[in-house]
Amino acid sequence: MPWLGFFKKISKVDTWIVLDHVTNNPRDAAFWGRRVKILVNGQSYWLSIPLKKPAEPKQIRVPINEMMIDQRNGTKFQKQLKTIIQNYCNAPHFSEVFPIIEEYYSDFSESLCDKNLFFIKRVLNGLKIMPKIVKSSELKVKSSSTVMLVDLLKAINAHCYICGDGAKAYQTDSLFTENNILLKYNNFSHPKYSQKGSEKFIPGLSVIDVLANEGFEKTKELLLQ
């Protein structure tokens, strides 16, 4: 259930490539694909999805599209849904976003990628932001690092790439120019909005925070600013 900056980047593009074939460590509690912050009692609070450990004992990294959710502790998801309801039920537009949240927690599919994409697509539909969505695994690119990004862009005949603000730490920007691809940084500046339940505005929370407080129409206006 990503933060607002994630949806800001998608709102700018014609095609969104879901980087689902790359690997990460499912044991890493900080892995961005499994956790997000919400507002609980006026403070930011982590919600985390438990993942199954790799099948091989010595295996560290797993392709994101092969990561499986650990459903053994079903009460964890019930508690998370209850936490969201308790902390957002009085928000002005909670009824708009709650059906999506309820569907998310009612879905017992094991694929982390499928579960996350389900939520993201439902939010995009509510925002009336409809990019073409392509999974990187479908493009059969074998390279890595920045070369992989360039190859993925070439595979869909892209002429411009919008990257996250932290990309400077790991990508080689010159490779895009060398391949006639315009590089643009998202440059996301978090907008402030009415945040019920907090005396001081807390940025960086799940998109459900702004949707519950401002609704889909106002949230889209914030994204298009």
d(CA 110, CA 114): 8
Contacts of 225 (CB under 8 A, 6+ apart): 191
182 occurs within a structural domain: yes
If one counts the domains in the chain, the total is 1
Tell me the H-state helices in 19-111: 74-88, 94-106
d(CA 130, CA 146): 26
> Are 94 and 212 contacting, i.e. CB atoms less than 8 angstroms apart?
yes
Residue with more model confidence, 59 or 90: 90
Q: Is 220 helix (H, G, I), strand (E, B) or coil?
A: helix
166 occurs within a structural domain: yes
- Which domain, by its residues, includes 9? 4-188+204-218
199 occurs within a structural domain: no
Per DSSP, 105 falls in state: H
194 occurs within a structural domain: no
pTM: 0.93
Tens-place pLDDT, residues 82-103: 999 999 999 999 999 999 999 9
> Are 62 and 26 contacting, i.e. CB atoms less than 8 angstroms apart?
yes
193 occurs within a structural domain: no
44 occurs within a structural domain: yes
223 occurs within a structural domain: no
46 occurs within a structural domain: yes
Contacts of 195 (CB under 8 A, 6+ apart): 39, 201, 202, 209, 213
pLDDT score recorded for residue 75: 83
Does the pLDDT at position 36 exceed 90?
Answer: yes
Tens-place pLDDT, residues 104-148: 998 878 999 999 999 999 999 999 999 999 999 999 999 999 999
Q: Is 73 helix (H, G, I), strand (E, B) or coil?
A: coil
d(CA 34, CA 108): 15
> Are 15 and 221 contacting, i.e. CB atoms less than 8 angstroms apart?
no
d(CA 53, CA 196): 38
pLDDT score recorded for residue 207: 98
Chain-centre distance of CA 41, in angstroms?
Answer: 24
> Are 159 and 182 contacting, i.e. CB atoms less than 8 angstroms apart?
yes
